[in-house]
């Protein structure tokens, strides 16, 4: 990260705290590493992102329905899915600092260093050696690479390393009131399995016909070895996932469809398209036959925000095997040699986006520091240029003065608008200061009630991005806000 982008990112993080978007969890006890709370504006923004996703995935697709599965699941779920045996990160400890690192991350950092130094050959060689070691789970080879490339602990500066060990990322807890009969269960590391185990419940009760999808938004938990970059990598986070069940053999067609559809969803928000790119996986997870990430250019580089995975019939077949229950679909379409007609385990295309990462993307993308100085008159503002549909507060209503009946009139306007919209009322400080506070949280409209309002029932409206003002009748406000924040603007 260059000094500028580094500083910009730091500013975004302090802005998020200062304006009630994101707080460190249990801050009064010095926080809990990689766990965060969303404040008064953050929770609104997060809910709006969820709504945008839910509407575009569920409401706009007649063949996709949503569920809300429990976080706790039968422990066999995670044996079947492969998480008990395979959901690991290779970790290594420095014996002097007692700090723990992800072995692959230490190597990634060294590869980046070689690249920055123009040592491309060395970077490529190390990348290839690391990929080979990870693919074969060769932990000794990973350690040898760390030693061979003279990687030192950033804290102690020494190269006194332990062996590399596998570290399972799932959190476990006791289930049941009595210690004796308590069973170890896991906090789900992905929401997807809640969908797979309900595949037949939803298919049968919803009379769903293939191809169809099941969507879900919910918490997931991973005991990440390293957590960094604010809410980018958390131990408790939220996912928005959709599993799309298809006929075997048609999965690549649907994989491409979802790849394009999901990128369109991102771009509809008006983000600079150059900030997005696809990154095809070369190392595929055990369950996938194709996988791609949608990456966004954060201040710290291009990083994954969403994954689209062709998961084959792996999950349903595994649940069929471990539960002894048939996880099959009777397809009575096609034939006269167009095939199906009969039972099969469907193939699955998954779209999986991290809600918190999407939140960070939205914040980083919207954050703008503007110099508004004119001649000797210094002025500046921080504005969040959020899409109006995502803005936490849709409009703020200000009485120009705290007297002459203006507060009463302003409150009357708030009471009307708040039936449909999240609106704020502010009477403290000069109007300019109130504008700045609303700019900082991304409120698209500020409405000022003055003496003229009492005479002709008009107000001034001030637009966040252009800072232009115009006079409009109070009776038009509801319609103007509704038009601006209509989901049609994103979904049509
Ligand atoms: N069901 C597939 C799955 O979970 P993943 O690539 O491990 O795939 C999907 O996760 C998305 O979840 C990622 O693209 C990322 O946005 C988000 N995610 C994963 N781990 C995260 C973490 N520790 N903190 C925040 N978001 C995370």
333 confidence band (pLDDT: 50, 70, 90):
confident
Provide DSSP, 127-150.
Answer: HHHHHHHHHTT-HHHHHHHHHHTT
Looking at residue 6, its pLDDT comes to 85
Tell me how far the alpha carbon of residue 71 lies from the centroid of ligand 1, in angstroms.
16
Looking at residue 320, its pLDDT comes to 97
Is 406 exposed, middle or buried, given 0-12, 13-18 or 19+ CB atoms closer than 10 A?
buried
Which residue's CA is the closest to the ligand 1 atom numbered 4? Answer: 190
231 confidence band (pLDDT: 50, 70, 90):
very high
Is the pLDDT confidence value at 430 over 90? yes
Is the pLDDT confidence value at 342 over 90? no
pLDDT in tens, 194-222: 999 999 999 999 999 999 999 999 999 99
Query: With a 6 A CB cut-off, is 315 part of the ligand 1 pocket?
Result: no
The token pair that represents 437 in the structure block:
């506070």
C-alpha closest to that of 414 among 403, 427, 424, 404: 424
Is the pLDDT confidence value at 1 over 60? no
pLDDT in tens, 250-289: 999 999 999 999 999 999 999 999 999 999 998 788 788 9
Looking at residue 180, its pLDDT comes to 65
Among 357, 358, 361, 362, the mutation site with the greatest number of ligand 1 atoms within 8 A of its Cβ is 357
Among 354, 360, 362, the mutation site with the greatest number of ligand 1 atoms within 8 A of its Cβ is 354
**227-241 average pLDDT score:** 94
Query: With a 6 A CB cut-off, is 225 part of the ligand 1 pocket?
Result: no
Give residue for tokens 């399995």.
193
Residue 382: alpha-carbon gap to chain centroid: 23
Looking at residue 448, its pLDDT comes to 98
Query: With a 6 A CB cut-off, is 238 part of the ligand 1 pocket?
Result: no
Which ligand 1 atom sits closest to the C-alpha of 191? 1
Looking at residue 179, its pLDDT comes to 64
**286-298 average pLDDT score:** 93
177 confidence band (pLDDT: 50, 70, 90):
confident
Looking at residue 397, its pLDDT comes to 98
Which ligand 1 atom sits closest to the C-alpha of 307? 14
406's CB contacts (< 8 A; 6+ apart) are 399, 400, 449, 450, 451, 453, 454
Find out whether 356 and 220 touch, Cβ atoms under 8 Å. no
Looking at residue 337, its pLDDT comes to 66
Q: Which of 11-20, 49-58, 127-136 has the lowest mean pLDDT?
A: 127-136
Looking at residue 134, its pLDDT comes to 87
Tell me how far the alpha carbon of residue 331 lies from the centroid of ligand 1, in angstroms.
32
CB atoms within 10 A of CB 207: 8
pLDDT in tens, 44-74: 999 999 999 999 999 999 999 999 999 999 9
Among 49, 304, 362, the mutation site with the greatest number of ligand 1 atoms within 8 A of its Cβ is 304
Looking at residue 80, its pLDDT comes to 97
Beta pairing class for 183-186 and 172-175? antiparallel
Looking at residue 137, its pLDDT comes to 85
Share of the chain above pLDDT 90, in %: 89
pLDDT in tens, 83-96: 999 899 999 999 99
**280-307 average pLDDT score:** 92
SS3 47: helix
Is the pLDDT confidence value at 307 over 90? yes
pLDDT in tens, 353-404: 999 999 999 999 999 999 999 999 999 999 999 999 999 999 999 999 999 9
Which residue's CA is the closest to the ligand 1 atom numbered 2? Answer: 352
């Amino acid at each position: 990260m260059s000094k500028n982008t580094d500083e910009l990112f730091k500013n975004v993080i302090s802005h998020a705290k200062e304006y009630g978007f994101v707080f460190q969890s249990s801050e009064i006890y010095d926080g809990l590493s990689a766990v965060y709370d969303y404040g008064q504006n953050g929770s609104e923004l997060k809910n709006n992102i969820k709504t945008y996703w839910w509407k575009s995935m569920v409401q706009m697709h007649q063949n996709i329905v949503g569920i809300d599965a429990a976080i706790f699941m039968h422990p066999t779920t995670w044996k079947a899915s492969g998480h008990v045996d395979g959901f690991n990160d290779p970790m290594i400890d420095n014996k002097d600092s007692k700090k723990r690192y992800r072995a692959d991350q230490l190597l990634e950092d060294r590869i980046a260093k070689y690249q920055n130094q123009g040592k491309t050959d060395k970077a490529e060689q190390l990348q290839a050696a690391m990929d080979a070691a990870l693919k074969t789970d060769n932990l000794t080879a990973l350690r040898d690479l760390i030693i061979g490339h003279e990687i030192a602990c950033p804290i102690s500066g020494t190269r006194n390393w332990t062996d590399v060990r596998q570290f399972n990322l799932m959190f476990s807890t006791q289930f049941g009131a009595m210690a004796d009969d308590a069973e170890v269960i896991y906090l789900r590391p992905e929401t997807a399995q809640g969908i797979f185990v309900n595949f037949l419940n939803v298919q049968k009760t919803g009379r769903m016909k293939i191809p169809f999808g099941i969507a879900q938004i919910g918490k997931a938990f991973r005991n990440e070895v390293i957590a960094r970059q604010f809410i980018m990598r958390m131990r408790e986070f939220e996912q928005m996932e959709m599993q799309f069940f298809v006929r075997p053999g048609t999965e690549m067609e649907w994989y491409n469809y979802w790849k394009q559809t999901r990128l369109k969803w991102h771009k509809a928000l008006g983000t600079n398209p150059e900030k997005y790119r696809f990154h095809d996986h070369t190392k595929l997870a055990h369950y996938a036959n194709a996988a791609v990430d949608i990456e966004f250019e954060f201040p710290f580089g291009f990083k994954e925000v969403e994954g689209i995975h062709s998961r084959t019939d792996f999950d349903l077949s595994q649940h069929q095997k471990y539960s002894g229950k048939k996880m099959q679909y009777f397809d009575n379409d096609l034939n006269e040699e167009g095939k199906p007609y009969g039972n099969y385990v469907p193939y699955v295309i998954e779209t999986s986006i991290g809600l918190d990462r999407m939140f960070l993307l939205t914040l980083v993308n919207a954050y703008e520091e503007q110099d508004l100085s004119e001649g000797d008159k210094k002025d500046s503002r921080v504005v969040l240029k959020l899409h109006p549909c995502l803005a936490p507060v849709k409009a703020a209503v200000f009485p120009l003065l705290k007297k002459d009946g203006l507060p009463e009139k302003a409150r009357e306007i708030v009471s009307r608008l708040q039936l449909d919209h999240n609106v704020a009322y502010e009477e403290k400080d000069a109007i300019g200061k109130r504008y700045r506070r609303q700019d900082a949280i991304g409120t698209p409209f500020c409405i000022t009630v003055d003496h003229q309002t009492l005479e002709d029932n008009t107000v001034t409206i001030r637009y966040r991005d252009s800072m232009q003002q115009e006079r409009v009748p109070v009776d038009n406000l509801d319609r103007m806000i509704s038009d601006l924040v209509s989901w049609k603007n994103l979904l049509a």
